[in-house]
Amino acid sequence: MLEETVQKLHLEIPELELQRNQLVYGDQQRNWTAVVEYFHTFRFGIPMTPEGQLTLTSRQEETDMSEQLSLLRSTIAPDVILGELRGVESLVEQWRRYSSYFEDLHFQLGSIQRASDTLLTVVASLGVTVSDATLSSVFPHLLDQGEDITDKDVKAMATATSIGTKLLGQRLLLPCSICFEWDAASCRVVRLETTLNLVAPLIRVLGNVVDAAAALEHALIRPDGGIGQIKGGQMWTPVDNCS
């Protein structure tokens, strides 16, 4: 009787291993698919005007926006961690800002690596064109401050506005890495953290480190990708969030 039971258990082992592998690798495949869909759905940001208003002037734009919201609801946890920020609403707001502050946004997936069963690290790029809205919303310190400056600051302001003039209309290709961490129970992303490299693209466009540093010194964009007026946050130093 005992031998029959043992033999039966041995026969069940391959089936149990198959079921386990289907569960494990099925989740991993779903995670990979979710990342690919995220990049595809937000490849052009969201349809915004430079004033920060949704355009939705065509049925296609309405469809795209509907798909974006549907993806976020099904894939991202409501209280997802976004570096210094929290929540899906913050994620949507960040996409709104990127899409209205820059022109011709193109978010492109490079490669995906599995760090663990619940963590994927992604290498990507964000292509953007610097517009007037970029200068006023991201680099306001590079704009002419008019009469609100002292004679002592005139030279510094001339340098700053010169940098702004160089930036205007330039195409920036920003390398970035993103960590997608899933909660195994809910099968949703609970941490989505970004590391954005704006230093190298600015050096390439401006031609030197000094001007790039001046552009970044008071820029309203952080290494973790946070853009616009955000309380707190780190200055421009290398960051590794995938740990």
Cβ partners under 8 Å of residue 43, min gap 6: 106, 107, 108
Single pTM value for the model: 0.79
* Per-residue model confidence (pLDDT) at position 61: 54
Q: What is the pLDDT of residue 196?
A: 96
Contact predicate 227/101, CB 8 Å: yes
H-only helix segments in the chain: 2-41, 59-75, 88-101, 132-137, 151-167, 199-206, 209-217
Per-10-residue mean pLDDT for the chain, 243 residues long?
56 50 60 93 81 53 72 93 92 94 96 94 98 96 74 76 96 97 94 96 96 95 89 45 51
CB atoms within 10 A of CB 136: 14
Q: What pLDDT score was predicted for residue 59? A: 55
Residues 76 and 87: their CA atoms lie apart, in Å, by 9
Residue 91: what pLDDT? 94
Q: Which residues contact 236 (CB under 8 A, 6 or more apart)?
A: 198, 199, 216, 222, 223
Distance CA 26, CA 35 (A): 14
pLDDT of residue 19: 46
